Chain A
Amino acid sequence: MFKETYKSMYDKIIPDKGIVSDTISSKRITKGVSKRFLPLYRRPVIVSIVLVFCLMISIPVLAASIPTVYELMYFVSPGVAQFFKPVQESCENNGIKMEVVSTYIHDNTAEIYVTIQDLTGNRVDATTDLFDSYSIHRPFSSASGCQRVGFDETTNTATFLISITELDNKNITGDKITFSVREFISDKHIYDGIPLEIDLSDISDTPDTMPPPAEYGGGRDGDYSIMKDNTPVLTPSAPVNFGIDGISITGIGYIDGLLHIQTFPGNITINDNHGYVYFKDKNGNDIMSVGSISFNDFQNGEKVRYDEFVFDIPPSQLDHYELYGYFVISGMYTTGPWQITFPLE
């Protein structure tokens, strides 16, 4: 049964025609040239910036008169903006309006511009993230991506570009798409290079540990041989705050000679808080973990996450290093759902 499902699943996965033909045609360019060739469509941002810069210096007056979302379309995809067809279907829930502005269907790809607007407050901002809660109900297997391309603070409107590629390489022809968003997060803050005021002078080499939970993720970052399979994790203790609301430390200790530091971002299904800790040596070099383990637990009916970072720094060397962190914290969580069905033609 596993084998049949596995085979059926991977039978549907096929590389895009574009990437195959680009690879074949790149032979002439690549042979004898050491520089790596990437087709232009792999560098959309660079292309966009160059073209938009040309556009802006040549016709600024015209740009100022175009509605915001159309400016964004020309900014993000200047080469294809003219091919987008207007849809302008919208829905409203919880004081939030979602609108499908325009679509461009080509070959096995559908690109969709969507706006989210807060009609009553400031829950939509320049950091709004659809948070993997968007979905497109289509009867085919697909890979999709969502990119926030702009925010208009005068109307509290964020614009997103959704891209869906059918995995079977079949062209998307007439039909409908139902696009829905379940929730989003906003008020996101990035804390980069934050020194963590944690006492590292008395770290236990016999901390409370537990076997890795049945469901866990993570992996080895650098030296694949250092971490053992099924290495135990620290038993979470009471959270210790280090000055950033939304994330705390729930354990530090040595397990099998490796330093484990456990962070607690809480219920990531409603905040997507994440980040990592690392050390700096006296020369300012960053010392990253050799591996990490993430696992879930349930507290008061909520699914919460723990991230444990593993370092190969012996206790005798620890005073040569300082602990730092990089964290992304969201302060606002807004639920819908919002759903729009629109024709693909």
Chain B
Amino acid sequence: MEQHLLYTDDNLEDIVVKYSNMVYRLAISHMRNKSDADDVFQEVFFRYIRKNPIFESEEHRKAWLIRVTTNCCKKIYASAWTRRVVPLDESIVFESKEENGLFYDLQKLPMKYRAIIHLFYYEDMSINEICLALNKKPSAVKMQLMRARAKLKEILGEDCHV
């Protein structure tokens, strides 16, 4: 049976609309500010258009977008450190104090744990799906998730049910 491949040109507008929230939220979870998340968002979809990747399935397309988003975040985060002397006068404010507190607290979560926490808790992805997205072995993802949750407990308090 002939395999049906997915092409970048398969209705780009639908793809951007379908994955825009996922990419943007993942970018915010890393960068913690709107300006950098905007940059990541654009960079991810420009790479998508430029590289013209072909996917075996929709699952692979999603994984590719997640992986590129985390890579773009790391790249911009590293450059942000080199220009760290300019304090970013920008804030994200939520309606509830609880959400504001959590958003603030999550800034303390090391960069390397942010993607796995977001994918696990927000995107409801399984360990296997995270492995595919982040291109890591299941044992590595399990270990990183365990450490990330321990770090979260440390940040949010032992009584927080993570």
Q: Report which A residues bind B (CB closer than 8 A).
A: 1-3, 5-10, 12-16, 19-20, 22-24, 26-27, 30-31, 34, 36-38, 42, 129-130, 132, 135-136, 139-147, 165, 167, 214-217, 219-222, 224, 229, 272, 274-276, 288, 292, 326, 328
* B 149-162 binary contact with A (CB < 8 Å = 1; else 0): 00010111000111
Contact A1 B160 (CB under 8 A): yes
Give the shortest distance, in Å, between A224 (CB) and chain B (any CB).
7
Contact B84 A13 (CB under 8 A): no
Residue of A at shortest CB range from B12?
A27
Measured CA separation A219–B13 after assembly (Å): 37
Contact B93 A135 (CB under 8 A): yes
Contact B103 A9 (CB under 8 A): yes
Contact B94 A12 (CB under 8 A): yes
Cβ of B99 under 8 Å from chain A: yes
Measured CA separation A139–B45 after assembly (Å): 32
* B 128-139 binary contact with A (CB < 8 Å = 1; else 0): 000000000000
Cβ of B59 under 8 Å from chain A: no
* Known contacts A23-B42, A229-B110, then 12 further A-B pairs from the complex at CB < 8 Å, ordered by chain A residue: A3-B121, A6-B122, A9-B94, A9-B102, A16-B38, A20-B17, A26-B46, A130-B89, A139-B95, A145-B89, A219-B110, A328-B85
Contacts of A222 in B (CB 8 A): 78
How many B residues touch the partner, as a band? 35 or more
Contact A288 B108 (CB under 8 A): no
Contact B82 A23 (CB under 8 A): no
Between A and B, 26 residue pairs with Cβ closer than 8 Å are A1-B161, A2-B156, A5-B102, A10-B29, A12-B94, A12-B95, A12-B99, A14-B24, A15-B21, A19-B41, A23-B42, A23-B46, A136-B93, A140-B95, A143-B33, A144-B91, A146-B89, A215-B108, A217-B107, A219-B110, A221-B81, A222-B78, A276-B85, A288-B82, A292-B81, A328-B85
Contacts of A8 in B (CB 8 A): 96, 99
Contact B122 A165 (CB under 8 A): no
Residue of A at shortest CB range from B157?
A214
Contact A219 B122 (CB under 8 A): no
From 1 to 42 in chain B, residues with beta carbon under 8 angstroms from any chain A beta carbon are: 12-13, 16-17, 20-21, 23-25, 28-29, 33-35, 37-38, 41-42
Measured CA separation A4–B93 after assembly (Å): 18
Contact B49 A31 (CB under 8 A): yes
Contact A219 B111 (CB under 8 A): yes
Contact A2 B162 (CB under 8 A): yes
The contact of B49 among A27, A132, A147, A276, by CB within 8 Å, is A27
Contacts of A13 in B (CB 8 A): 21, 24-25, 28, 92
Also in contact, A7 and B122, with CB within 8 A (given A142-B92, A143-B91) = yes
